[in-house]
Amino acid sequence: MPSSDEHRQGMRGWVKRHPVASFFVLAYAITWLAWLPDILGYRGNLGQMFSMIAQFGPAVAALILTWYTSASIRSWFRSIVRWRVGLWWYAVAIGLPVVLIAVQGALFGFLGYPLDIASIRGRLVNFLPSAIILALIAGLGEEPGWRGFALPRLEDRYAPVLATALLGFVWAMWQLPRVFVNPRFSHGFTSVAPQALLALLTMVTIFFYAFFYTLVYNRTQSVLLCMLLHGSFNAAIGLLPASFEVLQRGTYVALLAVQGVTLLLAVAVLVLATGGKLGYDAASGRIHTV
């Protein structure tokens, strides 16, 4: 029977050979366990604390795996605070979500769904502060893991589009429990089948978002910019000039369908425009194992 030291060495060796798989398992474990009180219906202060822990699951998992595999914590941290990038990429991180939601809103209105155009000005005023706050919460909780740890290692082994697709799928599924613990998620539906459809459409949009993060990370090597993009995407949802009361049942399904189609087309353009590289430079000097 192997000793405990041999067992630990064997586990460390496996993790070093498969750091991305280990990261995915640990990120899911931290987050899904922390969401358990919410899933079970507990809404007290302790539940709120666990919800915050859940948000930071990917970042914590990345830190643990970086240390456990003897990778450079300094290099990982440096990418999180890398702010010296071209101003153009700050514009992309803030403006791209605004452009996408504007196109989606225009198509949504063109299809005959009601929009409150008069509310756009007020929504725009709140956008940037919301984007910054969300970048420091959701962005900081997730991006040091997804883009700061997993993406560069995946791209060392797979083509950028395949690496992004793999990461996008795992990222989307990681968020699955959240859509069911959010009391507003059902948007008026009470039965399981339509709520499952909402979950599927939501996961599809998250999957497509991953391609924009890959471009920003590859061109800047900055997790900070990905955090800002994350905050901007989350805040941009509030720019759609339609109230929650309007976005119920079939109307909300239509919006998700519009978002899915526009994102699919935008991703197709992005992949074609970059020749499938999504800004990746194989000569960047990154050395990782998957």
User: Mean pLDDT in runs of 10 for the chain (290 residues)?
Assistant: 56 88 97 86 74 93 94 95 96 97 96 92 95 96 98 97 98 89 84 91 96 98 98 96 91 96 98 96 52
pLDDT score of 38? 80
pLDDT score of 46? 74
Ramachandran category for residue 159: left, alpha or beta (phi over 0 → left; psi -120 to 50 → alpha): beta
Residue 213 has a CB neighbour count (10 Å cut-off) of: 26
Residue 141 and residue 58 in contact, taking contact as beta carbons nearer than 8 Å: yes
- pTM recorded for the entire structure: 0.93
- Report DSSP state, residue 139: I
pLDDT score of 134? 97
pLDDT score of 251? 94
pLDDT score of 281? 85
**Considering only CA atoms, which of 256, 156, 155 is closest in space to residue 206?**
256
